[in-house]
Chains A and B, each alone.
Chain A
Amino acid sequence: MKQTLFIFLIVSGFASCMQSPSDQVLPILGERDISPAGDTVYPTIPDFSFVDQDSQTVTNATFAGKIYVADFFFIHCPTICPKVKKNGLRIYEKYKNDDRVALLSHSIDIRNDTVAALKRHAEKLGIDAKHWRLVTGDHDEIYGIADNYFSVATEDPDVPGGFDHSGRLILVDKNRHVRSFCDGTNAAEVDRFMKDMDLLLAEQFPK
């Protein structure tokens, strides 16, 4: 009986290491289509244009040749945002000297989260716009693009703070494909997510 338990512990120890073998390739997420010519077409992040905490325009071109982590938040969020930001900071700290990686946080509170407010927020988080953009923009464009990132963003007067949104972190590759995501409030999931980021870097920036 003791022996069985021991073996079980060993096996489960190994199993937990095996979840991300290094030769694994991350899938492209989302529903694929077949084009008239018969090619498989994967969903991509559409064109966008937002403004960041330094009043700089941020478009897809900002992330050309990079992988990036996207999320949705608002400054006066009484619920999950601080935890997501805390985990976002872990990602920021790990990759802040790596120009192949960036972060992009969309505010869904267009009215209150002005560029000046985003600037203050960024300063209090101690982050640099070159690596972590906090953006605002056209209401419909922001709420619309949340769908492309498989995230929820809706205005809902019945939830605390007035906005309903998922605390997801979404990993986008160089080709605008979504490759991974995690619950940004959960530190263990974010650990796994950072392993996915390393896998994607190895795939898209071969030595």
Chain B
Amino acid sequence: MTKIKHLGAVSGLFALFLVAACQPNPYKEGERLYKVNCSNCHMDHGEGLHALIPPLAGADYLKNNRDQLPCLVIHGIHDTIVVNGKVYAEQMPGVESLSEIQVANILNFINTSWGNQNQPFMIEEVRTLLKKC
């Protein structure tokens, strides 16, 4: 009997752990698309790579340049930019095959992962911004 109680407590804890572990990702499709299209460079936890690839986790660029983000995903960027005070003069290829919904999903995944708490994008907004690229 005590054993069973014990087991109940353990599995309860485990379930809690699972819930906690899964919580930061309401954007499952965005996560999948991120893994396929972005994580090779920006890495699994958005940490980037030294002076070569800027981070996405905790990046002020996401807030400061919010309106440019949909175009950046589709067309890439080859510019001199500042992310969290560090200068990057690199080049990133875009992924032109992504749909508006997919762009919104990826950006929303990034905007709510690894401690990021940026405002999500609506499809309408992405569509309007993409027209202006």
Contact = CB atoms under 8 A, between A and B. Distances in A.
Contact of B51 (A80, A124, A160): A124
Contacts of B43: 82-83, 86
B91 A82 contact: no
A153 to B, nearest CB: 18
B43, B51, B52, B53, most chain A CB atoms within 10 A: B52
B82 interface: no
B40 interface: yes
Contact of B49 (A78, A85, A123, A185): A85
Nearest to A75: B52
Interface in A38-85: 76, 78-80, 82-83, 85
Contacts of B49: 82, 85-86, 125
Contacts of A96: none
A157 B41 CA distance: 21
A99 to B, nearest CB: 24
Interface residues of A, number: 16
Contact of A126 (B41, B50, B93): B50
Contacts of B50: 89, 124-126
A100 interface: no
Nearest to B53: A82
B76 to A, nearest CB: 9
Given A79-B40, A82-B41, A125 B93 contact: no
Contacts of B52: 82, 85, 121, 124-125
Contacts of B41: 78, 82
Interface in A167-192: 185
Interface of A: 76, 78-80, 82-83, 85-86, 89, 121, 123-126, 160, 185
10 contacts: A79-B40, A80-B40, A83-B40, A85-B49, A85-B52, A86-B43, A125-B49, A125-B52, A126-B50, A185-B40
Interface of B: 40-41, 43, 49-53, 91, 93
The 6 A-B pairs with the shortest beta carbon distances in the complex, nearest first, are: A124-B51, A82-B41, A124-B52, A78-B93, A82-B49, A125-B50
